[in-house]
Amino acid sequence: MPALNIGTSGPDFKLQTIDGKPFALRDSLERGPVVLAFFKISCPICQYAFPFLERIHQAYRNKNVAVIGVSQNGAKDTASFMREYDLTFPVLLDDTRTYPVSNAYGLTNVPSVFWIGQDSEIEVSSVGWVKKDIEEINRRAAEASGNSASAIFHPREQVADFRAG
């Protein structure tokens, strides 16, 4: 089953953050769009992609856009990953036995990143590393925040256009 497509309604869910706080997608969408990014700590493409998602979080945090990670690992390993990659956005823990949220979103690979509009509609569905999808998410985050787009890629960085997840 492929990841949910654009135009599909993002399934509502409730999970806990890595620090034990409850999170409900519906509540977050009341404040603005959500970038939902699924990962596994051992995934090299997740390791590549998540620092760029952190840049989007830093550029638009507190501006009606939420970047939310969903880990397919336990709390201890996820906390190590967050420290190693300097992630400050909230990270949720999917149940590592049954992966209910990952399954609800049709994941077959990680990273899988979704832009979910306030109406719960998936407007971007990206599997693996797709630079143009990250640029689109950045553009949408800027638009939702009422700002011009921040530079997510630095001039001297060699950023791949695509890497399979």
CA–CA separation, 107 and 118 (whole Å): 22
> Which CA distances in Å does 62 have to 31, 58, 70, 96, 165?
10, 9, 20, 30, 30
Q: Residue 13's closest CA among 138, 116, 109?
A: 116
Identify the band that residue 1 occupies on the pLDDT scale cut at 50, 70 and 90: very low
3-state DSSP call for residue 144?
Answer: helix
Structure tokens given for 90:
């909230």
- Structure confidence by residue, pLDDT tens digits, 43-98: 999 999 999 999 999 999 888 999 999 999 999 999 999 999 999 999 999 999 99
CATH number of 14-130: 3.40.30.10
